[in-house]
Amino acid sequence: MSETAPAESKLPLYCRRCSVDLPPTTEPACCLACGLQFDPARPETFSTHRGSSRWKFWLPGFLLAVTIGTLTYAGCLQSGEMGWSLFVAVPVSFGAILGYACRVQTWAYAVLGILAIASVVFALVSMSLAGIFCGFTLGVIFLVPTFVGLAFGVSLRMLLISFRWDHAWYFRWYIWLIAAAPLIGQQIESALSRREEIAVVQTSLTVDATPAEAWNAIMFYEDVEHSPPWLLHLALPQPIKSEGNKEKEGEVVRCFYNAGTISKRISRVEKHRRLSFAVVEAIMRSENYARLKDGSFEIEPVGDTRSRITLTTRYERKLRPGFFWEPIERKVIHTLHGHVLEGMRRKAEVPELKEKPIEPYHPPTGDQPMPKVAFHFEP
């Protein structure tokens, strides 16, 4: 605010309460509209701008941050590498621009940060660059990096002000450097060789059926009849059918989804004991996130009338950083295995009911024994 008396500098004066023009005077007076007192000699008793122009302090910066966030995400996605640049550098970048370009109160930064994340995710989902589940997950993953970037942007602006730099952000090269940082990072990340990470997920379930009955109940995800849990609905493509003989070694089984196909070769068959398969071809977008390599069903007798079915799958992990994505991958694969094993249990334990209507499926809760999952990595 100017320290010179505005009455002398001929600046328009506005009421602090109702924002209307104050009468030109050099003596203490009152607003003609609301009656609030003011003193032209004391700048703190009136305003030099109308309250309605406050959007200028945040809207351009907000729109710039959302646009840059969406464009840099789309740009990084083109390289096919889904790592630190995409999931960390992009939100840090648009958060920093938001913090630098917006001049608002602390609480408004928090609101703008959340709104910017929601807007970027909405734009990505609208442009089919992410599905609904991925969009929701991105929203959660973006939270911390965006707010780190926001704090950086605010600090940068305050630092420049303290150095008495002209912080007219739209002319400054460092804003464009911040915007380009994810794309530069993506190029570096793509150029670096990366280690293949294999996740092995193993799930076991004991069923009231003999190994022969359990063997006859072996099915892939595409064959499960009951409705999958909501997580699988959102996270995975919807299965349609599978074609091919699963009990013949060397046979290729084609699995059809609403978003592509996967061909699995039956690599090993030991009747009533083990069935292994390997993926020979996969044409699906979800393969960009985690690529199924192979898997097996193992059946062990437990006493005379029970069997333990162990479903093992191996995936190549594509998403980085690993610690961000591991809990989500673990949850989805755990749910997928649980769904397939539940389908097998239903078929094996009551084979005579196969033709009858199936009771509604309830996902396992904490009260019920959950299948154990071993989640480890092979170098």
Nearer to other proteins by Cβ, of 44 and 359: the residue is 44
Shortest distance, position 260 Cβ to other proteins, whole Å: 33
Nearer to other proteins by Cβ, of 30 and 282: the residue is 30
| 57 close to 103: Cβ distance less than 8 angstroms | yes
Task: Name the strands in the sheet holding 290-302, side by side, starting at the edge strand that comes first in the sequence.
Answer: 239-243, 252-257, 260-270, 274-283, 290-302, 306-317, 197-207, 373-378
State whether residue 226 is helix, strand or coil.
Answer: coil
How far apart are the C-alpha atoms of 246 and 94, rounded to whole Å? Answer: 50
Shortest distance, position 207 Cβ to other proteins, whole Å: 20
| 98 close to 65: Cβ distance less than 8 angstroms | yes
Site string for other proteins, 357-376 (x = CB under 8 A): ---------xx--x------
| 346 close to 226: Cβ distance less than 8 angstroms | yes
Nearer to other proteins by Cβ, of 114 and 219: the residue is 114
Nearer to other proteins by Cβ, of 183 and 333: the residue is 333
**CA nearest to 301, candidates 234, 188, 216, 207:** 207
How far apart are the C-alpha atoms of 45 and 306, rounded to whole Å? Answer: 85
Shortest distance, position 215 Cβ to other proteins, whole Å: 29
Shortest distance, position 141 Cβ to other proteins, whole Å: 16
3-state DSSP: the chain helix, strand, coil percent, rounded to 5?
45, 20, 30
Nearer to other proteins by Cβ, of 139 and 239: the residue is 139
Tell me if 304 contacts other proteins by CB under 8 A. Answer: no
Tell me if 291 contacts other proteins by CB under 8 A. Answer: no
| 97 close to 179: Cβ distance less than 8 angstroms | yes
Query: Among 105, 227, 238, 305, which residue sits at the site for other proteins (rule: CB under 8 A)?
Result: 105
**CA nearest to 281, candidates 301, 302, 265:** 265
Query: Among 4, 53, 78, 106, which residue sits at the site for other proteins (rule: CB under 8 A)?
Result: 106
Nearer to other proteins by Cβ, of 39 and 300: the residue is 39
How far apart are the C-alpha atoms of 356 and 20, rounded to whole Å? Answer: 76
Nearer to other proteins by Cβ, of 355 and 367: the residue is 367
Among the candidate windows 99-107, 183-191, 295-303, 343-351, which touches other proteins by CB under 8 A?
Answer: 99-107
Shortest distance, position 164 Cβ to other proteins, whole Å: 12
Tally of helices (H runs) and strands (E runs) in the chain? 10, 10
| 249 close to 296: Cβ distance less than 8 angstroms | no
Could you give the angle at which helices 173-191 and 59-77 cross, rounded to 10 degrees? Answer: 20
Shortest distance, position 91 Cβ to other proteins, whole Å: 15
Nearer to other proteins by Cβ, of 151 and 181: the residue is 151
Site string for other proteins, 37-56 (x = CB under 8 A): xxx--x-xx-----------
Shortest distance, position 87 Cβ to other proteins, whole Å: 19
**CA nearest to 62, candidates 27, 108, 24, 128:** 108
Query: Among 7, 11, 16, 358, which residue sits at the site for other proteins (rule: CB under 8 A)?
Result: 16
Shortest distance, position 108 Cβ to other proteins, whole Å: 8
Nearer to other proteins by Cβ, of 45 and 267: the residue is 45
Q: Say which residue the tokens 């460092």 belong to.
A: 174
Give the footprint of other proteins on residues 206-245 (CB under 8 A).
none
Query: Among 14, 100, 147, 297, which residue sits at the site for other proteins (rule: CB under 8 A)?
Result: 147
Nearer to other proteins by Cβ, of 212 and 370: the residue is 370
Tell me if 28 contacts other proteins by CB under 8 A. Answer: yes
| 69 close to 94: Cβ distance less than 8 angstroms | yes
How far apart are the C-alpha atoms of 336 and 228, rounded to whole Å? Answer: 8
Tell me if 110 contacts other proteins by CB under 8 A. Answer: yes
The helix (H) or strand (E) run that includes residue 140 is helix 132-162
Query: Among 5, 7, 11, 36, which residue sits at the site for other proteins (rule: CB under 8 A)?
Result: 36
Q: Which residue ranges make up the site for other proteins (CB under 8 A)?
A: 16-17, 28, 36-39, 42, 44-45, 105-107, 110, 147, 158, 162, 366-367, 370
